[in-house]
Structure 1
């Protein structure tokens, strides 16, 4: 394995080309072909890139959403990841900094690995920051077993737009203090075991309906408004010693002299606001440079990488033109520019390498922590405990948009109370009405088919119509196992009571059933407005 020289030696020993190479973090894909793996090995050896950011596969990369490419399932992804990291490290002259997006655990990128709740779920927790701390700590532990140094998390965007296609459930909510408090707890959890983190997406990607993987969002707010809200978490987190800040691809005219300049390419944003006004001395990393918000506008090879570097980014994430980018930076940048960025990145790598795991151990089973989170976040949005008790005691029918055999929620309730269950799958409103008969009480369990808001969270129009029919004509208690924004698809205000469980994990279904049976209180608070 390659070593990492102390900075004082490295600054004299590395050539200018090697120093610039250290600023590049191209993508690595866990499910690449042997030919693609060898190509990346050559890139590492020839250009002395400083790090890699791992993704599941080329087909699952965010910019391929519209291509509908088939994503291959790989049950051995974690072992493949471990082997690839070792293999790539062996090709590097200087030790690589290995990064990944593991916002809710390695499961964000890797099959058969622990998954923790989304940030929006954690946002519903009140007065128990230790649970969020433990999530950060457990995720960091799991990352380290793979050979990962750098988790590009947490998302510290304030999500205030229900139609946001790219942040939404990844945010802790729409309250700046809640987002800041949860982000800090998550970061401290990671830092407690030596994992690097990065707050993102500066200056705040929460109030937009445009996905920057596909286009350039524009935030039309005054600087005062932004300082009071979107920028608030970043400023506080910088004051508390975050390792790095990721700058997003969104245009914010009030913060940049160029009206439609992406933040990631704005000197005003990075050198002005982050460095001078906020006093940040750590590493600034760009959001992925392959994203269409920026990539589609620069056809000259290396130009985008140069502009991102010149704007003040130290790490160029998902840079696709490594060789050309190095050459253009070498030609145009001053020695002072290169050295300042190199020093910040090398210092970050020194910190990361000191915390490496020498002998990997097992991954942490998330069930116990997830159950505690489920107990703390379950939210009674409408109705009272007494409403649910009277409903339960007077008899009811269970209806779900999942198959009857797949609902652990219903299965566990049925162990203590007998009731009939039906599914909305492939049935009509008339069929459901016939099955219900004269029964007025309906326990409705809904699982959004997808977590993002496009196409009504994946609900079919038939399902939406049937659910709204039930809400308007029956006495309904609704339990939602998914993104709470999905409630907005339905006439949920017509329900007798509404309970948010947030996730469809077994532990969350188990806790929801206990809540319905009166065995657990609802402690959570909805972190966004529907």
Structure 2
């Protein structure tokens, strides 16, 4: 749609320029002005006011057009931070970003983490995405280190139980403040999966098995994070359900497609509408889709 609008604007501008050239040529040749122009005062055409988003889009288009092919390819990769030569590989492969895990924070002070992340950014010609899984509960890469937070973040379920929706919003704010203070600009959260099996792999990480509750949770986390300028990632599309752990084996999901439409897809729709930046796809083999 934006390209279509730009095409229309360029076409109208070209037509206006041709009209002006035609009139100037007519006057230069001694021809009288067309009747509709004789009694009117000269008018000034005001430039079209562009929105900030349109201006940024143009800047981005120009920036990308000047990138080398190697840079464009490298920017497509958001990779796990390697044990060795992490700084060197930033410029060597022109990567889009690093995802940090527990080992990257273990035993480090806040200043050590900040300096380490900054060393990656200093090496990058294009600013890096620095991501982490800080869901709360069983997945806390950062707050599991007592040097970085006094106690790990609670799971979404426990957070809600302790203080309702106010606690969920405050939790998202505290996570954003902590991560951004370290130089982390993307949180691989919120978890959009719903499961009814309390013994299931995803149960401790999911917020609710109720669609309306899950939607509100996703919206709250995404909007709060966005207001802080922390990137968010919806996971694990298309919805994990009650399936087994795909980190240790293969999970086959035999549910009907209609179940995804009526339940699992909805928190992802909500997250997209709320302004989430990315979607992470699960390892599950979903037979009705795959």
Instruction: Please indicate the TM-score interval, normalised by the length of the shorter structure.
Output: 0.7 to 0.9
In the alignment, structure 1 segments of 5+ residues that lack a partner are: 59-71, 257-530
Residues 14-43 of structure 1 deviation map (CA, whole Å, 9 limit, x = unaligned): 1122101001112126xx5xxx1xx22222
Counterpart of 2:233? Answer: 198
Equivalent of residue 44 in structure 1, options 64, 85, 90: 90
SS at the partner of 1:207? coil
Counterpart of 1:358? Answer: none
SS at the partner of 1:7? helix
Q: CA deviation at 1:232?
A: 1.8
Contact 1:44 1:91 in 2 (8 A): yes
Counterpart of 1:245? Answer: 279
1:52, 1:25 → 2: CA distance? Answer: 6
SS at the partner of 1:242? coil
Alignment map for 1:281-430 (pairs within 5 Å):
none
Q: CA deviation at 1:221?
A: 0.8
Alignment map for 1:96-111 (pairs within 5 Å):
96-104=128-136, 108-110=140-142, 111=145
1:121, 1:212 → 2: CA distance? Answer: 25
Tell me: higher relative CO, structure 1 or 2? Use CA pairs within 8 A at least 6 residues apart. 1
Residues 394-422 of structure 1 deviation map (CA, whole Å, 9 limit, x = unaligned): xxxxxxxxxxxxxxxxxxxxxxxxxxxxx
SS at the partner of 2:254? coil
Q: CA deviation at 1:73?
A: 5.2
SS at the partner of 1:246? strand
2:229, 2:209 → 1: CA distance? Answer: 29
1:15, 1:183 → 2: CA distance? Answer: 37
Structure 1 residues 203 and 123, CA gap change in structure 2 (3 angstroms):
farther
1:229, 1:55 → 2: CA distance? Answer: 31
SS at the partner of 1:229? helix
2:110 aligned with 1:78: yes
Contact 1:154 1:198 in 2 (8 A): yes
Alignment map for 1:267-282 (pairs within 5 Å):
none
Contact 1:104 1:139 in 2 (8 A): no
2:221 aligned with 1:182: no
Aligned length: 227
Ranges of 4+ aligned residues in structure 1 off by more than 4 Å = none
Counterpart of 2:267? Answer: 233
Contact 1:123 1:173 in 2 (8 A): no
**What is the TM-score with the length of structure 2 in the denominator?**
0.72
2:287, 2:72 → 1: CA distance? Answer: 33
Contact 1:218 1:251 in 2 (8 A): yes
2:234, 2:106 → 1: CA distance? Answer: 30
Alignment map for 1:33-72 (pairs within 5 Å):
36=84, 39-57=85-103
Equivalent of residue 74 in structure 2, options 7, 10, 21: 21
In the alignment, structure 2 segments of 5+ residues that lack a partner are: 1-57
Counterpart of 1:11? Answer: 64
Q: CA deviation at 1:120?
A: 2.0
Equivalent of residue 92 in structure 1, options 96, 103, 124: 124
Counterpart of 2:173? Answer: 137
1:57, 1:138 → 2: CA distance? Answer: 22
Structure 1 residues 26 and 73, CA gap change in structure 2 (3 angstroms):
closer
Residues 341-393 of structure 1 deviation map (CA, whole Å, 9 limit, x = unaligned): xxxxxxxxxxxxxxxxxxxxxxxxxxxxxxxxxxxxxxxxxxxxxxxxxxxxx
Contact 1:130 1:185 in 2 (8 A): no
Counterpart of 2:48? Answer: none
SS at the partner of 2:235? strand
1:206, 1:124 → 2: CA distance? Answer: 22
Counterpart of 1:275? Answer: none
Question: Which entry has the higher C-alpha Rg, 1 or 2?
Answer: 2
Residues 482-509 of structure 1 deviation map (CA, whole Å, 9 limit, x = unaligned): xxxxxxxxxxxxxxxxxxxxxxxxxxxx
Counterpart of 1:420? Answer: none
Alignment map for 1:458-469 (pairs within 5 Å):
none
Q: CA deviation at 1:130?
A: 2.5
Contact 2:218 2:270 in 1 (8 A): no
1:97, 1:148 → 2: CA distance? Answer: 8
SS at the partner of 2:134? coil
Q: CA RMSD in A?
A: 2.3
SS at the partner of 2:216? helix
Q: CA deviation at 1:124?
A: 3.8
Q: CA deviation at 1:6?
A: 3.7
1:125, 1:80 → 2: CA distance? Answer: 33
Structure 1 residues 187 and 125, CA gap change in structure 2 (3 angstroms):
farther
SS at the partner of 2:197? coil
2:266 aligned with 1:220: no
Contact 2:172 2:224 in 1 (8 A): yes
Equivalent of residue 122 in structure 1, options 156, 159, 178: 159
Contact 2:134 2:140 in 1 (8 A): yes
2:213, 2:120 → 1: CA distance? Answer: 39
Contact 2:222 2:275 in 1 (8 A): no
Structure 1 residues 103 and 180, CA gap change in structure 2 (3 angstroms):
same
